[in-house]
Amino acid sequence: MIYIDKECLRCNACVVVCPFEAIEEGDPIYKIIESKCTSCEKCIPICPVKAIKKK
């Protein structure tokens, strides 16, 4: 399972790279839509502050 921690800058890089539209804007950080996420991990390396992690 992929998750976004509190270090998220809301830069939108992960939203753009996600092929399943499984990341949405949240407050105060973006969040993963678990029902859409396939754990492909394309979002993990694109995050500039490494806020996206796998459990």
| Residue 52 token pair | 């996206």
Q: What pLDDT was estimated at residue 29?
A: 96
Average pLDDT of each block of 10 consecutive residues along the chain (55 residues)?
97 98 96 98 98 96
Question: Could you tell me how far CA 11 lies from the centroid of its own chain?
Answer: 11
> Tell me, what's the pLDDT at 42?
98
pTM over 0.95: no
Q: What are phi and psi of 25, to 5 degrees?
A: -70, 130
Tell me the C-alpha distance between 8 and 11, whole Å.
8
- Look up residue 50 and give its DSSP letter: -
Closest CA to 16 of 53, 42, 51: 42
Q: Residue 43 has what pLDDT?
A: 98
CATH number of 2-54: 3.30.70.20
Domain ranges of the chain: 2-54
Strands, E assignment, the chain? 2-4, 23-24, 31-32, 52-54
